[in-house]
Amino acid sequence: MAQGQMAPGIVAGRLSSDELAANFDDLHPAYAPHEAAVAADRCYFCYDAPCQTACPTEIDIPLFIRQIQTGHPEAAARTILEQNILGGMCARVCPTETLCEEACVREAAEGKPVEIGRLQRYATDTLMARGVHPFTRAASTGKRVAVVGAGPAGLACAHRLAMLGHDVVIHEARPKAGGLNEFGIAAYKATGGFAGAEVDWLLQIGGITVEQGSALGQGLTLDALRADYDAVFLSIGLAGVNALRAAGEDKDGVRDAVDFIAELRQAGDLSALPVGRNVVVIGGGMTAIDAAVQSKLLGAENVTVAYRRSRAEMGASGFEQDLAASKGVRLMFNVMPVAVHGNGAAVEIELEYTTSAGGSVTGTGETIRLAADQVFKAIGQTLEGAPEGLELDGRKIKVDGAGRTSVPGVWAGGDCASGGEDLTVTAVAEGRDAAMDIHAQLSA
């Protein structure tokens, strides 16, 4: 098969434009005002609320819900955004079912929590629709900070620093800011170009310049940044993808799930986006589910998620697993890839059954073959492009609780840094907290 030629089973236009529009509609439609009022009225407004403790950004959830209940959604939005400036996107993509809503007293008592995520979206959407930024930038301090990477951590850090009066330059490798919010989540979770609109809204604070096409290793060095700026914050994400370590993974039709999701998110016409007839996704996290569900929504006939451990060990939440199943995605557990078969292009994938115990996975020797003209790798990402001299913790940049790295004047946060889970909301918290620590040091 000539280089760049599409495998025979991977074609565009499996569904009509109308079918695709329906398939990729908003996963959780926005509340109307009366719906928000009814949902807010279910809150017990707990003292020492467990939902707030479960939120990585520590939003005062009972307060903002009370503000919605009393007819002040814009005040509720400010309560949210003071802690999480990307509260609009987090309301859409946060796994609330394993965070605030799982901790909700209503969930424990009735099995139906207050819909905190949808209430948060209602509040932030109401405020953003006005087009007015709720925060005022402080007087200039004369200090300049470089932020490398315009993902959630970088944007949160930049906004907080700018609000405190510092001048910030964000260096971003891609042509759009937003990071995973723009390129790495399922299209049905953030419709209507919301990721880009939220970035534009965030930048209204002033004092932030975004330089696109600017990345470490491409004419940009950490030493130069340290010399030119008073502080540096690294939010470079995880650019590498782990290998399958299976024979034939170089065949046509085998690709990284993150690249597929990014291509889909940037596609102007989904009917022009090719997808296989028989798709197998290797992995067990949110990326695997996003790739699988979207393959099915594009018109793939058979989609399977193959995960090497048990259902209970799967990184994707029960909600995400149920969503995949509801869309017709088959979930296979305790199987791992052995080989991709086909003459140049993928035709089948061979999986070996496994047992998992004590943290280790062992093959049983028993195998099964599935038809697969398209195979997506979603088995974790790796750090690439970390500047020399930074101490690593495993495969990430080592940081302390405030994001300080081993190099003076350099902080890091988000997926590239050691610490919390690889979630948008966690990245926002890390960027915000690093900004406060940078501010304290620059003000000393």
Q: What is the pLDDT of residues 382-434, one digit of tens each?
A: 998 889 899 999 889 999 989 999 999 999 999 999 987 789 999 999 999 99
Which residue in this structure is represented by tokens 């534009």?
200
Distance CA 442, CA 187 (A): 40
The topology under which CATH files domain 33-128 is: Fumarate Reductase Iron-sulfur Protein; Chain B, domain 2 (1.10.1060)
**Domain edges within the chain:** 33-128, 144-239+383-443, 242-377
Average pLDDT, the chain: 95
Q: Which one, of 222, 58, 88, lies nearest residue 155 by Cα?
A: 88
Confidence bin at 5 (pLDDT 50/70/90): low
Confidence bin at 1 (pLDDT 50/70/90): very low
417 to 136, 251, 283, 390, 435: CA distances (angstroms): 30, 33, 22, 11, 15
Work out the average pLDDT over 30-55: 96
User: Could you tell me the pTM of the whole model?
Assistant: 0.95
Q: Which two tokens stand for residue 368?
A: 């099964």
pLDDT for residue 207 is more than 50? yes
CATH of the domain spanning 242-377: 3.50.50.60
Q: Cβ contacts of residue 275 below 8 Å, gap of 6+? A: 10, 11, 12, 14, 295, 298, 299, 300, 374
Work out the average pLDDT over 269-279: 96
Work out the average pLDDT over 241-248: 92
pLDDT for residue 236 is more than 90? yes
On the question of a common fold for 144-239+383-443 and 242-377, the answer reads yes
pLDDT at 327: 97
Name the DSSP letter for residue 275.
B
pLDDT at 65: 98
pLDDT at 147: 98
- If DSSP codes are grouped into helix, strand and coil, which group holds residue 394? coil
pLDDT at 240: 85
Work out the average pLDDT over 325-336: 98
Work out the average pLDDT over 355-367: 93
Distance CA 354, CA 344 (A): 28
Confidence bin at 91 (pLDDT 50/70/90): very high
Cβ(210)–Cβ(412) under 8 Å?
no
Distance CA 39, CA 258 (A): 35
Say which range, 4-18, 115-129, 336-350, 409-423, has the weakest mean pLDDT. Answer: 4-18
Q: 144-239+383-443, which class in CATH?
A: alpha beta
Distance CA 87, CA 204 (A): 16
Q: Which one, of 78, 123, 118, lies nearest residue 97 by Cα?
A: 118
